[in-house]
Structure 1
Amino acid sequence: MGTTPLATVANTRNRRELLKAIIAASLVTGLEMFDFTVFGFFAAMIGDQFFPATDPMTSLLLAVGTFGVGFFMRPLGAMLIGTYADRVGRRAAMTRTSWMMALATAAIALCPSFATIGVAAPLILVAARSLQGFALGGDIGVAATFVMEAGPVSRRGYLVSWQLTSQGAAALLGASLGLLLSSTLSPAALASWGWRIPFLIGLLIAPVGLYIRRRLREDPAPSATADARHAGAPLAELYRHHSATIVLAMLMMMGQTIPVYAIVYFMPSYVTRVMHMPALTGFMASALSALLLVVIPPLSGRLVDRLPRRKPLALLSSGCTALLVYPVFLLIAGANSALPILCGVALISVLVATGAGVIALLVLEALPARVRASGMATAHALHVALFGGTAQFIVTGLIKWTGNPISAAWYVAPACFMSFCALALFKEQSVRT
């Protein structure tokens, strides 16, 4: 009578394994995303150190161009690491990405400036950004696949949402560090060595990532990996049978990525270089946005798990983003205090956070398990390379060449509308059993 029923023991064990899967996939991906995106928060300082020029906007343009280099390596990482995950295993792939990200982040944190070693400095920086992009390109899609397959269908929205929450937490940590450093260090100290501190903190990815991911059980969907071993190459199957899904997925995700990189991550540089306001204001806006990207996705995930269909919530979020991007830029560009900037960034962040996890889940469920990791990784990496990695460069170029701060919206608003159209064409799979 005093023994615990076997069903209760099994449920407790399953909950424990599910929690471990969420932590391994989400926490470590968040750390890797922090290492990758913190570069964008400190682009202005990095530009001065590695790309000195008489015009500050030229240094910034070269720095955000280097920021984009990492994005162009992400598709290659997605294809190779995603295929490896489908054929060998999700856990093995995620362990390897942790090592690569730690090595690249150490190179950025410790690389001497242009004034010390000359042209070798930007070359090392570009190489490190390339390795970061390669690692993260494979990890995000594989980790999202791992955590989705680890739980029941009825909780998939909630489980996948933690991937977005971890990425928001990474941005929050980066923005908070920027806020702390810009308020405690002098501008000269921040530009000289203070910007390296977040990268040194990001080196935690090595011990934390390897410890957590090595303690995982085997892949939650081992039959999918076994099928992939005996089937043809995953990338060939994706091209033959799922190319339309991949293209629509890229366009759908574009509506979340471009606003985040062109508004949220770019805000510290936009505020200082374009609006000539204190860096503190830009970091406050990014920190608020990141906080919303942490809080909103789990709520959205729970909501979509209760709805009969997933797509309407994604359509609502995407449509509102497309309609409100231009008014938000008008609000920010006309601001003479921090409040309008915070309100505009918060509005876009809430809309993006509501729909991003739902769109990721739609894509994951549309792909068969044997190509799910490579398909999700490839779609995510390609769209980020084409649209996320170029967003800051394009809006910086538009502002520099036109002299009009509103010109950034000329790129962001049409992109969001195109994303809404792609989502309307995407066919939702019925998997609610």
Structure 2
Amino acid sequence: MASIALGKAGLSKGQVIAATTLGTALEYYDFTIYSFFAIQIGKLFFPSASPVNQFLLSIGLFGVGFVVRPLGGIVIGAYADRAGRKRAMVLTIMLMALSCALIACAPPYAVAGLAAPLIVLAARLIQGFAAGGEFGPGTTLLVEYASDSTRAFFASWNFAATALGLALGAVVATLVNVLLPKEAVDSWGWRVPFLVGIVAAPVGMLIRRRLEETLSAAPAHGAQRSGALKAALTTHLKLTILGTFAELGGSVSIYITAFFLPNHAVRVLHLSSTAAVTSGVVSSLVLFVAAPLVGKLADRYTRKRVLVISRVVLLLSVYPAFAWLSAAPSMALLCAVSAFLSVFVAGQVVPVLVMIPELFPREVRATGIALTYVVSASIFGGFSPLVASWIVARTGNPLAPAWYVAAACAISLIPLVWLRDRTGEAIG
């Protein structure tokens, strides 16, 4: 099927990967830029709260976007299994641009009162819905374009694209913090990255227009496609549950590493905002480079082998890494710890990212990957920064989040016993 699709589209493998993932990178730039300015948003939209509660409320708004990610994954994933992957991907990129515009133009509490945080809340709900619907169709399309021996490599690029989006967001955040005075950043400068993010819509639509629809080659009829959600929750319920918990370790790890750790470095370790965003750039670039390399390894040495090794190494090393950083906090050490952890985060995410769609039939695939990945990211990952911040505030122990990551890695090893490894096998 992959070779047929490539031939129809007239695109090389590199062009297919670029066309599919560049839009994802732009969308995740929009989705994640919020986290880099959570402190400023907290001050402007919750001015009456204490500094700690301002941050917690701001991070809470960030986490609310994850509440609707499963809904977005279900609705848009089912739409992708019914109407096609390509149409679903165009829809999500338009919604993401709309949400970015809302945040960029939202008045502060001093101007609009309670309406101010409600506007941000609405934007975050739209962002979450769109981001939830993006990952399933994008990953599914890449898996269906790939050959039997390159599926992990192809799928890895959708995760690499999310890392690229994080890196773009961190670079823009760094430039804003470096080029503008702190007072300007706190009052209006934080809005600039959201304005930049609006360009995701026309750019993403333009580059995705050339993609060939892979669902058209599927043998399923329209009636079967319309029942994708029902099938995922009945016929394939066991796989859906196992896949969700198999994603747990990667979901928690990436959100603690990419979102929580930079803010933790500022608030608890008293490093500068520049150090935080610099570490965000470093970790994101490491994820971007490591993801396709992990994909190559997973295609050659099997998904489970790469996944288990990465998960165990991260489980054993996350506490010493946090302890080392807490004992001697510096920008260099923060970047080193972030880079080290990111390698094994990629080693967790990429193999399971391709294992799940390989196990679902084509007519249920986009819905299946949306349910497993998005539900896991929402329940276990999205609220990880909030949970970790709360644990640190309650216990006073800056190393507590490391135990949270280690526990997630341990739990997510269990479902692998029942998940089949289809490395190199043909899929429908």
Q: CA deviation at 1:352?
A: 0.9
Cα distance in structure 1, aligned partners of 2:389 and 2:48: 16
1:252 aligns with 2:246: yes
State the 4+ residue runs in structure 1 displaced beyond 6 angstroms: 10-15
Q: CA deviation at 1:225?
A: 7.1
> What is the identity, as a one-letter code, of the residue corresponding to 1:347?
F
3-state SS, counterpart of residue 421 of structure 2: coil
The match for 1:388 among 381, 384, 398 is 381
Cα distance in structure 2, aligned partners of 1:357 and 1:121: 38
1:235 aligns with 2:234: no
Q: Aligned residue for 1:318?
A: 311
Q: CA deviation at 1:156?
A: 1.0
Coordinate RMSD, CA, aligned: 2.1
The match for 1:362 among 349, 355, 362 is 355
Q: Which runs of 5+ in 2 are unaligned?
A: none
Offset from partner CA, 1:53-93 (integer Å, 9 cap, x none): 35211000000000011111111111111111101111111
Q: Aligned residue for 1:271?
A: 265
Offset from partner CA, 1:267-291 (integer Å, 9 cap, x none): 3321221112211111121111001
Offset from partner CA, 1:394-421 (integer Å, 9 cap, x none): 0111111122211222322211111122
Cα distance in structure 2, aligned partners of 1:231 and 1:395: 40
> What is the identity, as a one-letter code, of the residue corresponding to 1:326?
Y
Offset from partner CA, 1:80-121 (integer Å, 9 cap, x none): 111111011111111111111111111011111111111101
Q: CA deviation at 1:431?
A: 4.8
> What is the identity, as a one-letter code, of the residue corresponding to 1:373?
A
Moved more, 416-425 or 23-32: 416-425
3-state SS, counterpart of residue 105 of structure 1: helix
Offset from partner CA, 1:307-335 (integer Å, 9 cap, x none): 3x321111111111111111122122222
Cα distance in structure 1, aligned partners of 2:40 and 2:417: 41
TM-score using structure 2 length: 0.94
> What is the identity, as a one-letter code, of the residue corresponding to 1:429?
R
1:48 aligns with 2:43: yes
8 A contact 2:149–2:423 mirrored in 1: no
3-state SS, counterpart of residue 407 of structure 2: helix
Once the two structures are aligned, what percentage of the paired residues are identical? Answer: 37
8 A contact 1:228–1:234 mirrored in 2: no
8 A contact 2:167–2:280 mirrored in 1: yes
3-state SS, counterpart of residue 270 of structure 2: coil
8 A contact 1:157–1:304 mirrored in 2: yes
Q: Aligned residue for 2:24?
A: 29
8 A contact 2:160–2:291 mirrored in 1: yes
Q: Aligned residue for 1:3?
A: none
8 A contact 1:34–1:173 mirrored in 2: yes
3-state SS, counterpart of residue 328 of structure 2: coil
Q: Aligned residue for 1:78?
A: 73
1:199 aligns with 2:180: no
Cα distance in structure 2, aligned partners of 1:212 and 1:97: 14
Q: Aligned residue for 2:120?
A: 125
Q: Aligned residue for 1:90?
A: 85
Q: Aligned residue for 1:333?
A: 326
> What is the identity, as a one-letter code, of the residue corresponding to 2:60?
G
Cα distance in structure 2, aligned partners of 1:178 and 1:231: 42
Q: CA deviation at 1:339?
A: 2.6
Instruction: Summarize the alignment of residues 139-288 of structure 1 with structure 2, pairs less than 5 Å apart.
Output: 139-217=134-212, 219-224=213-218, 226-227=220-221, 229-230=223-224, 233-288=227-282
Count of residue pairs the alignment pairs up? 424
Cα distance in structure 1, aligned partners of 2:108 and 2:303: 49
Cα distance in structure 1, aligned partners of 2:152 and 2:204: 24
Offset from partner CA, 1:173-208 (integer Å, 9 cap, x none): 111122222222222111111111111111111111
TM-score using structure 1 length: 0.93
8 A contact 2:255–2:385 mirrored in 1: yes
Describe the shift of the 1:306–1:336 C-alpha distance in structure 2 as closer, same or farther (beyond 3 A): closer
The match for 1:353 among 340, 346, 351 is 346
> What is the identity, as a one-letter code, of the residue corresponding to 2:184?
A
8 A contact 1:362–1:428 mirrored in 2: yes
Describe the shift of the 1:348–1:430 C-alpha distance in structure 2 as closer, same or farther (beyond 3 A): closer
8 A contact 2:100–2:197 mirrored in 1: yes
